[in-house]
Structure 1
């Protein structure tokens, strides 16, 4: 029970975004409490697991490329602070698709932002990556040389440790049951009652449930993502020392397929569909996602003949998607001291250092330097025209 204490900032949700938000707030000298409903570490949200891709390549979405310039610097800073290797730089192979101009947009954006990249035509693509099988005429590929993957679980632990190191308070195993708005906000958990001048909600897949109780209708959809690992036929073919992270837009229907080379498990490549069935985060194992495995098997057989045609390990995580797959970084429309970070749509992990800084600034009365127009709540109800 902490009714007498009024924190400057309470952050609810100790995933990667919430943890970075709390870290930035504490680093700015604010008294900060980070609350997490599950005992740490856990695998029930969106920040667990061994790897997350990291990239500058975002097609025409230049605002993310610009944010990534800062994010890369911040990840390197966390590596130095924690004395842990968190980032493997392998490059990202963006594979073309007939009738899609994503590669042209990606190359243009990377060039504009002075990010190293290579453009491969069909012939060079096939010669450079003979372990892949794609029909001629797909448009080749673009290699984002800045990219790679983050060691996700290790990175999450590292930022939480740094937060504690500078005096931040973290309480896990406490489920939030009520938010009582006011000039001083009260947050009731199943353990105690806490007070703060500002609260930041980084509750991941539970955002829609929490925001609905606060009178905010947000078109968020939670999806269960099947994380599949496929065994190499010849060990070393897809080693992270020689093979990059890869992705292909419109690979299975309108959905992206992405992969991470062997690192997490010996001789296993992670290949996933950037889509899954809608699910309630409290009942995520009740949905049928066998069709995802079947679709991926067809993709692997056709394009990755160097892998066994069935996954040998499957795991899962949850995406919380907005209709346009842009984040929500905004204030409650009625209570300005309730800040919302939600809808990270499966690509928020890599940007967490910057997003956490943005949310922290919003919580402490500062103005973020980034263009916030893409992340407003009212974009779902108000025409951008």
Structure 2
């Protein structure tokens, strides 16, 4: 008889790796499948850094999840012996009445998260290397900072294996066969499991329709841009925080991180990009992204060279309302879906892994899952 796994997790990005880690820690016989040879840079979880923060504007439910994500990242640091989080504070800024900035301040106050609100003078004093309009409000969420993404990913995979999990990379899933036990057919094997978790990132747009599920998801190609400091060290993590500005360029957000990954280079990116097919993502024209970002840098970061030194690529899988999709398949309860992380999933990964694992074990999730249910799209999705 063929070996039946308790759970098969498809996709070894940060969400799948976190989910598999949680399952293996709870003694479940777990298989984690990844289509590309690891490590790779073809999805959404590669690279060295991501932003983390507790404040989440008006979206309270993420702030509540982030309160648990921080200690869970600390647990992973202890288990792996790697430093994953670096506190730098997270800065946000906006014009008078900017809903994101004001919502952030209210959220920080309500949840009693250490923070500082500044006017132009205060911000100039704290961060002389930035230039924004004089009527702006600035706020620093002191809990914010940098997650070392590559270290986080490898740590989850390593601890997963330490707890007896099986990880197979370079093995693409071709078919999911629903049933009381779920069949998973890959490029080289056929597996069975009591439940399956699909955390396939951009490939959700290709795999889910095979299960009669078409969700309002868009795959965006993000230009990860690095800008050279005119004065070396001017934007180091000791003096420059991570930042996020909503409505920074047209209606799009811009985010940035200090010069940590590449000496002398600051990572500042547009939180949007051209829509692409994940299997041929380099066909898209993104010259408009570079043009807009060059103008933005020239205006707000006079101490950076206004031409990017390095451009890398990442993919966002954008859900229509920017909320995550964490749910059972509408027809098959033992197929669980984690998708549509919309460019803000990395920091939440420890909690996402926890709830997806709970769902795979058919336990009640630790959080109110209402905002993440597939049903919310019933008017414009094929369910």
What is residue 288 of structure 1 aligned with on the other side?
Answer: 285
What is residue 269 of structure 1 aligned with on the other side?
Answer: 266
1:51 aligns with one of 46, 49, 67: 49
By how many angstroms is 1:28 displaced?
A: 1.2
1:363 aligns with one of 355, 360, 364: 360
Using the alignment, how far apart are the partners of 1:135 and 1:11 within structure 2? 48
Is 1:168 the counterpart of 2:165? The answer is yes
Is 1:302 the counterpart of 2:314? The answer is no
By how many angstroms is 1:98 displaced?
A: 4.2
Alignment map for 1:1-385 (pairs within 5 Å): 4-138=2-136, 140-381=137-378
* Secondary structure of the corresponding residue to residue 62 of structure 2: helix
Using the alignment, how far apart are the partners of 2:227 and 2:282 within structure 1? 22
- TM-score of the superposed pair, with normalisation by structure 2: 0.98
**Is the Cα–Cα contact under 8 Å of residues 217 and 317 in structure 2 kept in the other structure?**
yes
By how many angstroms is 1:136 displaced?
A: 0.8
By how many angstroms is 1:97 displaced?
A: 2.7
| Length, aligned pairs only | 380
Using the alignment, how far apart are the partners of 2:369 and 2:142 within structure 1? 27
After the TM superposition, list the runs of 4 or more consecutive aligned residues in structure 1 that deviate by more than 2 angstroms.
none
Partner deviation per Cα, 1:283-334 (whole Å, 9 max, x = no partner): 0001010110110000000000000010001101000000110000001111
Using the alignment, how far apart are the partners of 1:325 and 1:158 within structure 2? 27
Using the alignment, how far apart are the partners of 2:17 and 2:214 within structure 1? 25
By how many angstroms is 1:238 displaced?
A: 0.4
By how many angstroms is 1:116 displaced?
A: 1.0
By how many angstroms is 1:122 displaced?
A: 2.3
- TM-score of the superposed pair, with normalisation by structure 1: 0.97
By how many angstroms is 1:156 displaced?
A: 0.3
Partner deviation per Cα, 1:192-213 (whole Å, 9 max, x = no partner): 0000000000000000211101
**Is the Cα–Cα contact under 8 Å of residues 297 and 306 in structure 2 kept in the other structure?**
yes
Gaps of 5+ in 1: none
* Secondary structure of the corresponding residue to residue 306 of structure 2: strand
By how many angstroms is 1:127 displaced?
A: 2.2
By how many angstroms is 1:101 displaced?
A: 2.3
By how many angstroms is 1:99 displaced?
A: 4.4
Using the alignment, how far apart are the partners of 2:154 and 2:100 within structure 1? 35
* Secondary structure of the corresponding residue to residue 81 of structure 1: helix
By how many angstroms is 1:382 displaced?
A: 5.2
Using the alignment, how far apart are the partners of 2:197 and 2:166 within structure 1? 15
By how many angstroms is 1:105 displaced?
A: 1.1
Using the alignment, how far apart are the partners of 1:103 and 1:135 within structure 2? 14
Using the alignment, how far apart are the partners of 2:366 and 2:159 within structure 1? 24
